């Protein structure tokens, strides 16, 4: 029988501490691979950081921010899989200091920031959650990010397929 353990993940950098978590996911490089955890956090520098396991050791990676912005709130983290045999790719959704939604995602080779902006004529006031959905067992997983706007409505930003 196993036992619970504690491990100090320390800080993203020697000078930047963790202000808040932004979501946690497990990721597989292929469907037969071992899962690896990724934990996204907002640092005291208002940047997104990820603490991840490579199978042998933990690492911190500074994800930065969308150009000219700071991260103020998390929406959530998910993994997206383009097909049942594809690599899972982590996505972390955040709200920036201009009240817009952004996503930091792994394209299989490098991390990318994509501006999702705001619903038409609205301001994002509060985060919601993020999830993925498949239309059938062989379909691409599609990301969905939910937010609450200044009129107290729930909005969803999602990836549509062609």
Q: Looking at residue 75, which CATH number applies to its domain?
A: 2.120.10.70
Q: Judge whether residue 86 has pLDDT over 90.
A: no
Q: Look up residue 9 and give its two tokens.
A: 């993940």
**Distance of alpha carbon 158 from alpha carbon 87, whole angstroms:** 20
Which range marks the domain in which residue 114 is found?
18-158
> Residue 96: which pLDDT band, with cuts at 50, 70 and 90?
very high
Length of the chain: 162
Domain assignment of residue 2, yes or no? no
Please check whether residue 104 is in contact with residue 115, taking contact to mean a CB–CB distance below 8 angstroms: no
Confidence at residue 11, expressed as pLDDT on a 0 to 100 scale: 97
- State the Rg of the chain over Cα: 16
Distance CA 155, CA 151 (A): 11
**Position 13 in a domain:** no
Residue 5 covered by a domain: no
Helix (H, G, I), strand (E, B) or coil at 83: coil
Residue 140 near residue 132, CB atoms below 8 Å: no
Flag whether pLDDT at 160 surpasses 90.
Answer: no
Mean pLDDT of 72-96: 93
8 in any annotated domain: no
Take residue 55 and report the two structure tokens written for it.
């199978």
**pLDDT tens-place string over residues 98-145:** 999 999 999 989 999 999 999 999 999 999 999 999 988 888 999 999
Distance CA 1, CA 134 (A): 36
Is 10 inside a domain boundary?
no
Identify whether 41 is part of a domain: yes
Name the 3-class secondary structure at 70: coil
pLDDT in tens, 6-59: 999 999 999 999 999 999 999 988 888 899 999 999 999 999 999 999 999 999
Residues 39 and 49: beta-carbon distance below 8 Å: no
Whole-model pTM: value is: 0.94
Q: Is residue 4 one of the residues assigned to a domain?
A: no
In a domain, 131, yes or no: yes
Assigned token pair, 59 = 């690492």
Pick the more confident residue, 96 or 1.
96
Structure confidence at residue 137 (pLDDT): 86
Task: For the beta carbon of residue 143, count every other beta carbon within 10 angstroms.
Answer: 21
Q: Quote the number of domains for the chain.
A: 1
């Amino acid at each position: 029988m196993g036992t619970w353990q504690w491990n100090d993940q320390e800080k993203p950098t020697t000078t930047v501490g963790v202000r808040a978590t932004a979501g946690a996911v497990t990721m597989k490089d292929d469907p037969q691979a071992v899962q690896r955890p990724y934990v996204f956090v907002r640092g005291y520098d208002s940047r997104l950081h990820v603490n991840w396991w490579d199978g042998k050791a933990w690492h911190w990676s500074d994800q930065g921010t969308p150009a000219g912005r700071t991260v103020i709130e998390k929406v959530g983290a998910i993994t997206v899989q383009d097909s049942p045999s594809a690599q899972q790719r982590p996505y972390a959704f955040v709200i920036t200091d201009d009240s817009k939604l952004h996503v930091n995602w792994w394209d299989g080779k490098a991390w990318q920031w994509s501006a999702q902006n705001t619903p038409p004529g609205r301001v994002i006031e509060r985060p919601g959650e993020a999830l993925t959905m498949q239309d059938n067992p062989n379909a691409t997983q599609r990301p969905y990010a939910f937010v609450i706007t200044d009129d107290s409505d729930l909005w969803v930003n999602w990836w549509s397929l062609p």
